[in-house]
């Protein structure tokens, strides 16, 4: 059956069309199950189509951030006994090139706990789906979406359950079917681009040493742009993995092979895993990042969670934004049921909410990733990480912002957090060869180091250009554009802030 999405205005409009449900949610991960929970709680008739049979595994870091814990608390899940038995982490150490860079507890952020949990997705997803069922949603496991057709007064949904084909008529369809979302592909008639994706390898180890309440994040040349991690799931077990940003040049190593090498060669990882044993296999998956060009609503269609690219680009966590987008989509769905407006314009309150809450932070991350994808200049980008760590040690507020961003407690959707990131990135660029004349005049001792850094950067850039002239030119043009865009975005926010301050003083 071909993939089709049409607005069939020629369909005869019966007076009282019969619906199998109000909403069909495709996918029973955190986003889909949470959407089903909220919509069912609002009195909507909800059917969830889930291809797998639960409990099922999902390649993920299993890190449930303090922000995610807040969302799960609102749903009543965090108080369940099975949830309370899961492992907590309240301390983190960031490593750079095998050495500890900065360590500490989670920052103090209003309405959030100062700890996270590390919960295998087999457990977490089952708990959220259980809540959806209790709220009244019907869940059809082992049921795969085949196609859907948007018509004037309903959506016809075709699904397969074993050898049987099932057809449903619903008012609204919500795509929560993850990184290879069929709902998204039918809606947009496109797939996620390579540059808006990440590749992830994950494994479980037993016999892990060190503080079982401490999470570790490792930055290094092999995994940048990206990082590797160790998140304890019990006293001697941990989720260990690596995530790589797509579209980098030159491409990083295969994540599965890279993870194996990092465990042996990264001193920080090796210190905790030298006596550990691999449980099962190293699993690999792709992860969708936000793409501003991809619509997340259409007539009678909404996309949530990773199907909409709503993944935190600063740490790769998708659970928090999956839960948040589920709530926002459910609010729009409930309002649309009352207004009977299921057109794209009627569902735009959801996409506007996403833009208002997350748009600025996504723009900043897109600009930064455009620069960081040139792996030939990793020495500059890793210097950026180093500067962030150094500044965190002397500036408590900066430490709160950066640790909050990395832990998912703070999303850089305001000018001060954006400037914290981009300002340090500028410092890193300056430190590896773009030092201004005034800096050298003020401190002549910087001249030799500046010259050395400029030479190193120039040689690397020249070698890169010689090996792949087209890629170098493409990145150079993009880099110039990105730096201009960063300056424009941040300066607009600064100007807005200045006007607000001066206006309030008049």
Q: What is the pLDDT of residues 321-374, one digit of tens each?
A: 999 999 999 999 999 999 999 999 999 999 999 999 999 889 888 877 877 888
Residue 213 has what pLDDT? 98
Return the CA Rg of the chain.
Answer: 24
- 56's enclosing H/E stretch is none
Longest dimension (CA), the chain: 83
- The order of strands in the sheet holding 87-89 is 63-64, 116-118, 87-89
Instruction: Report, as an integer, the average pLDDT of 474-489.
Output: 47
Beta bridge partners of 214: 91
Q: Give the tokens for residue 67.
A: 């922000």
Q: Which residue has the tokens 């926010």?
A: 493
| HSE-up (13 A, CA, CB side) for residue 354 | 32
Are 156 and 24 a contacting pair, CB within 8 Å?
no
Residue 415 has what pLDDT? 63
Instruction: Report, as an integer, the average pLDDT of 445-470.
Output: 43
Instruction: Report, as an integer, the average pLDDT of 75-86.
Output: 96
Instruction: Report, as an integer, the average pLDDT of 63-92.
Output: 96
State how beta strands 116-118 and 138-141 pair. unpaired
Residue 120 has what pLDDT? 98
Domains and CATH numbers, the chain: 21-62+120-192+291-362 (3.50.50.60), 195-287 (3.30.9.10), 371-505 (no CATH)
Instruction: Report, as an integer, the average pLDDT of 54-59.
Output: 97
Alpha helix stretches (DSSP H) within 15-140: 30-41, 66-74, 81-84, 121-135
Distance CA 429, CA 462 (A): 17
Q: Above pLDDT 90, what percent of the chain?
A: 62
Confidence of residue 462 (pLDDT cuts 50, 70, 90): very low
Distance CA 215, CA 133 (A): 33
Our separate counts of H helices and E strands in the chain read 15, 18
Q: Give the tokens for residue 376.
A: 């030939």
Q: Which residue has the tokens 């030479």?
A: 455
Confidence of residue 427 (pLDDT cuts 50, 70, 90): low
Are 170 and 47 a contacting pair, CB within 8 Å?
yes
B/e letters for 291-303, b = 16+ CB within 10 Å, e = fewer, are beebbbbbbbbbb
Residue 15 has what pLDDT? 52
Alpha helix stretches (DSSP H) within 18-94: 30-41, 66-74, 81-84
Residue 212 has what pLDDT? 98
Distance CA 483, CA 491 (A): 12
Reported as a single tens digit per residue, the pLDDT across 155-196 is 999 999 998 999 999 999 999 999 999 999 999 988 877 778
Alpha helix stretches (DSSP H) within 340-395: 344-372, 378-394
Q: Is the pLDDT of residue 470 over 90?
A: no
Residue 466 has what pLDDT? 46
Confidence of residue 43 (pLDDT cuts 50, 70, 90): very high
Distance CA 308, CA 288 (A): 8
Q: Is the pLDDT of residue 10 over 50?
A: no
Residue 194 has what pLDDT? 73
Distance CA 96, CA 217 (A): 9
Residue 423 has what pLDDT? 62
- 431's enclosing H/E stretch is helix 415-431
Distance CA 248, CA 464 (A): 13
Sign (positive/negative) of CA torsion 129, 131, 133, 137? negative
Alpha helix stretches (DSSP H) within 149-305: 182-188, 255-265, 267-273
Are 125 and 58 a contacting pair, CB within 8 Å?
yes
Q: Is the pLDDT of residue 504 over 60?
A: no
Distance CA 127, CA 202 (A): 22
Non-local CB neighbours of 441 within 8 Å, separated by 6+ positions: none
- Cα distances from 398 to residues 393, 401, 409, in angstroms, run 9, 5, 14
Q: Minimum mean pLDDT among 223-232, 267-276, 474-483: which range?
A: 474-483
Residues in the chain: 506
**Dihedral, CA of residue 211, residue 214, residue 119 and residue 253, to nearest 10:** -110
Crossing angle between the packed helical segments 344-372 and 469-505, to the nearest 10 degrees? 120
Phi, psi of 406 (to 5 degrees): -65, -30
Distance CA 472, CA 475 (A): 5
Confidence of residue 273 (pLDDT cuts 50, 70, 90): very high
Beta bridge partners of 138: 47
Instruction: Report, as an integer, the average pLDDT of 291-298.
Output: 94
Beta bridge partners of 43: none
Are 173 and 155 a contacting pair, CB within 8 Å?
yes
Beta-carbon neighbour count of residue 413 at 10 Å? 16
Beta-carbon neighbour count of residue 88 at 10 Å? 16
Residue 281 has what pLDDT? 97
Alpha carbon 399 to chain centroid, angstroms: 21
Q: Which residue has the tokens 């794209």?
A: 344
Sign (positive/negative) of CA torsion 342, 345, 346, 350? positive
Instruction: Report, as an integer, the average pLDDT of 438-460.
Output: 41
pLDDT, the chain, mean? 84
Reported as a single tens digit per residue, the pLDDT across 191-202 is 877 778 899 999
């Amino acid at each position: 059956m071909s993939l089709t999405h049409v607005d069939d205005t020629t369909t005869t409009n019966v007076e009282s069309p019969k619906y199998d449900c109000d909403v069909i949610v495709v996918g029973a991960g955190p986003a889909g199950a949470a959407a089903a929970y909220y919509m069912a709680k609002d009195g909507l008739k909800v059917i969830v189509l889930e291809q797998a049979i639960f409990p099922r595994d999902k390649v993920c870091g299993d890190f449930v951030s303090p922000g995610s814990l807040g969302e799960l608390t609102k749903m009543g899940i965090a108080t369940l006994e099975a949830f309370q038995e899961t492992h907590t982490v309240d301390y983190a150490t960031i490593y750079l090139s095998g050495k500890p860079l900065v360590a500490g507890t989670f920052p103090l952020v209003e309405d959030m706990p100062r700890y996270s949990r590390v919960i295998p997705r087999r457990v977490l997803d089952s708990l959220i789906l259980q809540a959806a069922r209790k709220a009244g949603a019907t869940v059809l496991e082992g049921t795969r979406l085949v196609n859907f057709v948007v018509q004037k007064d309903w959506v016809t949904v075709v699904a397969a359950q074993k050898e049987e084909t099932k057809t449903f008529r619903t008012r609204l369809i919500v795509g929560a079917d993850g990184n290879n979302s069929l709902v998204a592909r039918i809606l947009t008639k496109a797939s996620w681009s390579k540059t808006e994706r990440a590749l992830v390898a994950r494994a479980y180890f037993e016999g892990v040493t060190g503080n079982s309440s401490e999470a570790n994040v490792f930055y290094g040349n092999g995994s940048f742009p990206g990082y590797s991690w160790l998140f304890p799931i019990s006293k001697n077990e941990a989720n260990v993995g690596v995530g790589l940003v797509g579209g980098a040049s030159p491409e990083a190593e295969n994540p599965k092979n890279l993870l194996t090498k990092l465990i042996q060669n990264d001193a920080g990882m090796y210190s905790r895993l030298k006596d550990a044993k691999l449980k099962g296999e190293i699993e690999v998956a792709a992860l969708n990042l936000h793409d501003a060009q991809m619509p997340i609503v259409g007539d009678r269609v909404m996309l949530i969670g990773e199907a909409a690219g709503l993944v935190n680009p600063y740490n790769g966590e998708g659970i928090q934004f999956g839960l948040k987008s589920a709530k926002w989509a459910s609010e729009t769905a409930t309002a649309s049921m009352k207004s009977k407006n299921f057109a794209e314009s009627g569902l735009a309150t959801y996409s506007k909410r996403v833009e208002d809450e997350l748009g600025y932070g996504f723009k900043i991350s897109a600009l930064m990733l455009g620069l960081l994808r040139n792996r030939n200049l990793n020495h500059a980008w890793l210097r950026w990480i180093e500067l962030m760590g150094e500044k965190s040690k002397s500036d408590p507020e900066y430490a709160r912002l950066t640790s909050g961003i990395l832990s998912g407690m703070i999303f850089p959707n305001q000018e001060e957090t954006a400037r914290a990131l981009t300002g340090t990135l500028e410092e890193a660029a300056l430190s590896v060869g773009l030092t201004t004349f005034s800096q050298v005049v003020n401190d002549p001792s910087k001249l030799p180091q500046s010259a050395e850094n400029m030479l190193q950067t120039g040689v690397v850039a020249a070698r890169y250009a010689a090996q792949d002239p087209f890629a170098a030119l493409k990145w150079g043009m993009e880099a110039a554009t990105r730096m201009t865009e960063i300056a424009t975005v941040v300066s607009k926010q600064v100007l807005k802030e200045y006007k607000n301050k001066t206006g309030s003083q008049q």
